[in-house]
Structure 1
């Protein structure tokens, strides 16, 4: 996908520049031609399967990257030169690039004009070189026998299959590849309770190359084991409608269970849903899928999502595979064995692959320690057994999402991504395709991009905000191994995670990630030269006033003195603003910081040291949803009540390391935070707090950190019907006791939601 990401990045770069101001005449025409060729490449790469134009993908990538480099470099020179007459991009500079890309375009057109089935061959080094059906069979084989840790899941599924309602119910099992979905479905399918409860059982496996006829034939094969009405040789004479009629005819009047294993899309579900009729007799369809969206689409009420194994069940599974059901293992191997299980991060598929490897090595501490130290290499050396199974989920991604997923290879193992930083990276890389649909910004489109691989269980949402927004996310170690392998194979990124000095070999890639502990700055300067995009450090007040950026959505690190009305007028669509006051003592005028004109501002963070500035001197816009004050000294709690409380849309309020003028915060009866859902107080000197449930009626989460002087939490907070949690970290004993009393009181009243 390196070619695709390079083309998208070029298109984005061409779209983001004000070419009507920078470039004119033949240069503008040449740039239009360049964009048209890039759009053609995007269309071809979107429509063709990976590897169909393998021989030309590298040429496309190199040409697109070279063109973007020249455009970016010349544009930067123009901006830095502060004169349109310096470094203007001449159309002669682009002609060789356009000619090169046009030549490649003609080669691609020649290929696509022929019959693809006769001319084109799939790439031999693709992770998905074998058929999807083969991988499905492989996945079943690898998962066979995985039983540890799914007893509770099995009980839930059996109850769902045998209990109410009498209508045809769709029971769904979702989870990432290799987590044991098929095993769980098979255990339920073979369970005696299920065998006695249903008259007919049928198992249908869906491959990525879906054929409705194959589903019908598989279903008939299972159904007609007991009801021998027609011979198999007669099936070829029937069309799909006749086969569907035959299925329904033989299911009529019988309570049936049909397992639809490994379904990939909503369209496939729509195609087969009508095959199985509702006779109002307690029949069931059990559906397994890696796609949470598909599970929700089939039945949004009660999808069953499988979780990763905990350490205990993972260790039992490993022992099962290596030592047999009696788990007769040498005691000295238990500690190192559990360390190996922990490295597998709870994925049964990984544990099974490693267990097979352990079965072939000496059962000694030294032998197992070596496996623990080389776990990543062992997994990577089994692409057909392990990474290929997970690769199905990746290859099923739309093309525009693949570069986003491959960018995960650039982060170290166990790295937890801040969602905001991740989507900023995607935007900066040009991975996010600008769209005019629904008027969404690039950031909003990027959030949609992130939700998709999360729904496909390729990326894990580690932490969500109270409103459901993803705060942090991560990736399973095994998927990371696949990601690293695919990134290297497609030349998306070069990742070095072992060397402490830069390798001497040259790599024909545009992205590098060095993940060893340290590298010398001298190595960096000798090895790499790159041009950075425009940064705030390039300007003085640092010029900031004269820069208009109407599309800018986030500005961070700007100094308080630079925040003038002139600056704010140039960034009318800013959504997030972070202001710093320098650590050294600086004369800060007690002027009004008027942000009221920033009508799109949603999040404001303020970092200050030795800063004494009344909160009432901040002019906040009514659009503000998140407010965080850090190291803010000697403010008055009354100002919070009179200024911040008035913000109608404020959902989060965080006060960190903020000693106040008084240690009392008393909220009057009529004062109300209308929309506040999260309140965090950290290292404040608050001692006495008087408030009622009416003051913060929609609070969901209260977090108190190192509020050691606080005597108690207002007892009336227990009456807030939306409150879900109270967290205390290193607070006073009396404050902790008051929290426990609130929870206990609610429990006694039957309100166990807190």
Structure 2
């Protein structure tokens, strides 16, 4: 019976998730997935009862569903108890909790700096400002931060500065170390000692040896890809001040961390390239010091613009074009299928960007994934509409001091500080009005959403087979039957588009009926939203497992 169940099970599972580090072991992630699936199942059963009782008049069918409810609830409770027992055993064992996961993708000097110097030479002003701060400025130990989204070229810029002749001549000691997302302070200290060529004295601990090795010397230490302030605090104490213009340089994706260093240094933001800089970089990467053939200029500019200012994407696509046919037809194909070509040529970009998602706190992941569900558009996502959807979905936890809209705005600010989304337009009160997400980050959203059973996005009219094969167990379905890659800036809508949308909507409904009949959808309480504006184009959102009224 339900009355005899342990009431602390749910709170213990919530505490387990809250205590988990964003970067977890595979075993921990498996447990989180089981907790999530059990919660979804419980939510579906409860909402099915509510919907049956209050919203429908099914007669005998309704009675039949009420008879099945106690049995369904009992199965859900048993499943939750089984997961709770597994979590308790996992915590007692403790081995999985303390297993360290070291990320080697971000910050790898060989991979991250493979872009040529032309990648960052386009922003000579930024390079000059940082150099001036490194070799001049105050005598006290200074922290110089380079901040920006993943793959924007932070490590490449840091590499150029680190290996410049001026830096080599200015500092007695130079060292470079990458800070993994899950780190150990002692191992970082040992890595720095190895990097600066100082053998570890067996009579001294690493921290003491590092401090003494740097004491009285003019040094520059580069900490690449720092994720949290705690990592900086844990190792900064081993760097002596010296009052001789010594410097710590760090790269980070977290604007908040860069602001944290402002008390003892300064931060420099690396922004996405504008259209002209993107085109110049593409030309330099493909043709070196030669000019682009006149017949390729127009389509080449389209390719550069569709990279959306991300230097690593431009560098990768340039490397591909350099090896392929220099024909206008092939360049047009690349322009129309840019993201597909990028993922085929090199999946490193997606891996680098995925690290930003991996490190998100668990409560922020749903918000980020939901942003990725919006179709590509030029003007951006209307913040007010997005927040209403967040609230309607139940993502926003109520606060005693703030209304749910204010809490949601704080979550949006957090995602902005992590350089995952960007505010395109503010209103007259300096509040975000429209925000945008880079197309490659949107691809990360799509991939992670399907893996997490958060949502499945269907495109290219493959409703029959795709729907049945890919949508099983997904919580939401996004139908994007018309928008094609490269069409996001086209605001015109024809009668043929409307006819196309209606035809595919009817086809979709036929497939839904078929899936209900064969038992692939056991419960269907759905929300269908068709947005017909130049902002949202033709977007159909279907939510399975619950009902939302907007």
TM-score band (shorter)?
0.7 to 0.9
Deviation per residue, 1:192-213 (Å, 9 max, x gap): 3323333332222211121222
Alpha-carbon separation, structure 2, partners of 1:131 and 1:365:
44
Residue of structure 2 in register with 1:260 after alignment:
223
After superposition, the Cα gap between the structure-2 partners of 1:386 and 1:112, relative to the gap in structure 1 and judged at 3 Å, is farther
Alpha-carbon separation, structure 1, partners of 2:34 and 2:215:
59
1:513 aligns with 2:478: yes
Deviation per residue, 1:3-31 (Å, 9 max, x gap): xxxxxxxxxxxxxxxxxxxxxxx88x59x
Residue 157 of structure 1: how far off its partner (Å): 0.6
1:211-222 to structure 2, matched below 5 A, reads: 211-222=184-195
Residue of structure 1 in register with 2:415 after alignment:
453
Q: Specify which of 89, 97, 112 is matched with residue 140 of structure 1.
A: 112
Q: Assess if the C-alpha contact under 8 Å between 2:113 and 2:159 holds in 1.
A: no
Residue of structure 2 in register with 1:736 after alignment:
none
Residue 191 of structure 1: how far off its partner (Å): 2.3
- How many residues align? The count is 486
SS of aligned partner of 1:514: strand
SS of aligned partner of 2:47: helix
Q: Specify which of 307, 323, 332 is matched with residue 271 of structure 2.
A: 307
TM-score (norm 1): 0.58
Residue of structure 2 in register with 1:67 after alignment:
42
Residue 70 of structure 1: how far off its partner (Å): 3.5
**Which is greater in Rg?**
1
SS of aligned partner of 2:357: helix
Residue 220 of structure 1: how far off its partner (Å): 2.4
Residue of structure 1 in register with 2:525 after alignment:
531
Q: Assess if the C-alpha contact under 8 Å between 1:269 and 1:298 holds in 2.
A: no
1:185-204 to structure 2, matched below 5 A, reads: 185-204=158-177
Q: Specify which of 130, 137, 147 is matched with residue 157 of structure 1.
A: 130
Alpha-carbon separation, structure 1, partners of 2:289 and 2:104:
35
CA RMSD for the aligned pairs?
Answer: 3.5
Q: Assess if the C-alpha contact under 8 Å between 1:167 and 1:278 holds in 2.
A: yes
After superposition, the Cα gap between the structure-2 partners of 1:164 and 1:60, relative to the gap in structure 1 and judged at 3 Å, is closer
Residue of structure 2 in register with 1:316 after alignment:
280
1:103 aligns with 2:85: no
Alpha-carbon separation, structure 2, partners of 1:322 and 1:475:
27
After superposition, the Cα gap between the structure-2 partners of 1:97 and 1:139, relative to the gap in structure 1 and judged at 3 Å, is farther
Residue of structure 2 in register with 1:168 after alignment:
141
1:407 aligns with 2:370: yes
Q: Greater RCO between the two (CA within 8 Å, min separation 6)?
A: 2
Residue 418 of structure 1: how far off its partner (Å): 1.6
Residue of structure 2 in register with 1:113 after alignment:
89
Greater percentage in helix: 2
SS of aligned partner of 1:132: coil
After superposition, the Cα gap between the structure-2 partners of 1:327 and 1:134, relative to the gap in structure 1 and judged at 3 Å, is same
Alpha-carbon separation, structure 2, partners of 1:380 and 1:34:
48
1:363-374 to structure 2, matched below 5 A, reads: 363-374=326-337
SS of aligned partner of 1:381: helix
TM-score (norm 2): 0.78
Residue 467 of structure 1: how far off its partner (Å): 4.3
Deviation per residue, 1:269-327 (Å, 9 max, x gap): 1111211122222222111100001111111574211111122322232233323x313
Alpha-carbon separation, structure 1, partners of 2:303 and 2:463:
29
Alpha-carbon separation, structure 2, partners of 1:275 and 1:524:
62
Residue of structure 2 in register with 1:613 after alignment:
none
Residue of structure 1 in register with 2:240 after alignment:
277
Gaps of 5+ in 1: 1-25, 123-128, 225-229, 534-554, 557-754
Gaps of 5+ in 2: 483-499, 514-523, 528-548
Q: Assess if the C-alpha contact under 8 Å between 2:45 and 2:73 holds in 1.
A: no
1:160-559 to structure 2, matched below 5 A, reads: 160-224=133-197, 232=199, 234-235=200-201, 237=202, 242-299=205-262, 302-323=266-287, 325-381=288-344, 384-414=347-377, 416-436=380-400, 439-499=401-461, 505-506=467-468, 507-508=471-472, 509-517=474-482, 518-520=500-502, 521-523=505-507, 525-528=509-512, 530-531=524-525
